[in-house]
Amino acid sequence: MKLTRLQVRHVRILDDVTIQPDARLNIIEGANASGKTSLLEAIHILAQGRSFRTRKTREVVNRDADALLVFGEGRENEFTHRLGVKKSNREKTEIHVDRQRVQGVSALAVLLPLLVITPESHALVSGGPSRRRALVDWGVFHVEQTFHRHWLTYERALRQRNALLKQGASSASLVVWEREMAVSGNEITAQRKRYVDTLAPRVEQYMKTLLQDVKITIGLKTGWGNEPFHEALRTGREKDERFGYTTLGPHRAELEIRTEGRPASEVVSRGQQKLMVMALRLAQLDVFQAATGRSAVLLIDDLPAELDHKKRDMLLAQLSQMDLQIFVTTTDAALIGSETWSSSKMFHVEHGRVSSRC
C-alpha cells in the first residue's frame, strides 16, 4: 500500500501536520532538529505501532500533549485503507484499521510493509543478534502466510515453559510445552531458512553494486545445535533449570553476516557496515516484491550522510526501478537527484511545520 494522505499530531515537535505524499519519491528537506526525522518516525508508528528511535512513547509524545495520533490513508488494488494509531505517554496504544479497532500491530504491518534505513543502521551488523533476527522475521512475516501464527504459538509455549522452570516443575510438566515448542519452532526455522536462502544471492548482487571490494556471506544459526529441537530441549533441561529460562531455540536464532571467514563487524569499517545494511534492505525489498507482487514503503533518514555522490545517485537510480514509495530526509534537497523518478514531491520542514514545494 502507498500512502496518499498522512496526518500527524503531537509527535515530538510536529503538532498538527497533514501531507499528501507522492506515490514514488518524497524528499523531506530541513535544517537539523527541524522535525524531518520525526515525520519519518510518525510513518513508522503508523506501519509498526512504534518508533524506530526509542521504545519509550513518552519521549515521542509532544511535551504539551497526553498522546500522539497518526492517521493515514492509502490505496492498493483499487481499495482505500485507513489506518490510525494513538499512543499515550502512559504506554497505552489504540490501533484502528478501516474504522475497526484491532489488537496487535500485525494488521498494520500487513497493509503497510515498511523498512527503514537510518544513520544508526550500522548496528544491524555490529549490534546484538536480536536486530538481525528481526530483519529475517520481517521478511518471513511478509512472504510466509503461516509464520505469524507459528510464532504466536511458539511464544506462548515458551512463556509457559519458562514459568515452569522458575517454579522448579517436573520434567513431565515441561514435556507438554516442549512438544508444542518443537512443532512450531521447527516450522519457524524451516521458513527462516527458506527466506535466508532466497535472500543471500540478492544480497551478493547489491554488494557488487555498493561495495565491490567486500564479499559477504549470510547464513542462519537456528538457536540450538545439530540435534532435533525436541531433543535439544530435553537435554538442555538441567541447564535451563539452573538459569530459570529457556536458553536455546528459535528465539535465540541469528543471521550470521561474515566476510573473510569472520563476523563482518570485526573486519569492515562503520561506513562499509552501513553499505552492507543498504544491500540487505534492497535485497529484502526484492524478495518481498517477487513473492507478493506488492509495493512497500522505504524510509531513509539523512541519505547524503550515508553515501558519497556517486553511490547516492547509483542507489537512487536503482530504487527508482522498484515499486516503492520512498521518504528520504536531507538538509539540502539538491543532493537528492529525482531525474530518474516518474514522479516526486518535496516537503520543507521548519520548526515542526511542514509545507509542500514544487
- The annotated binding site for ATP is made up of 30-37
Q: How far is the C-alpha of 93 from the C-alpha of 202, rounded, in Å?
A: 37
Q: How far is the C-alpha of 316 from the C-alpha of 319, rounded, in Å?
A: 5
| C-beta neighbour count of 200 within 10 angstroms | 16
Known binding positions: 30-37
- 3 state DSSP class of 111: helix
Beta sheet of 2-11, edge-to-edge order: 14-19, 2-11, 67-76, 79-88, 93-97, 100-102
Decide if 318 contacts 300 (C-beta within 8 A): no
DSSP H or E stretch at residue 341: none
In the chain, the amino acid numbered 349 is V
| C-beta neighbour count of 262 within 10 angstroms | 10
Phi then psi for 341, rounded to 5 degrees? -95, 145
Phi then psi for 324, rounded to 5 degrees? -130, 155
Decide if 49 contacts 105 (C-beta within 8 A): yes
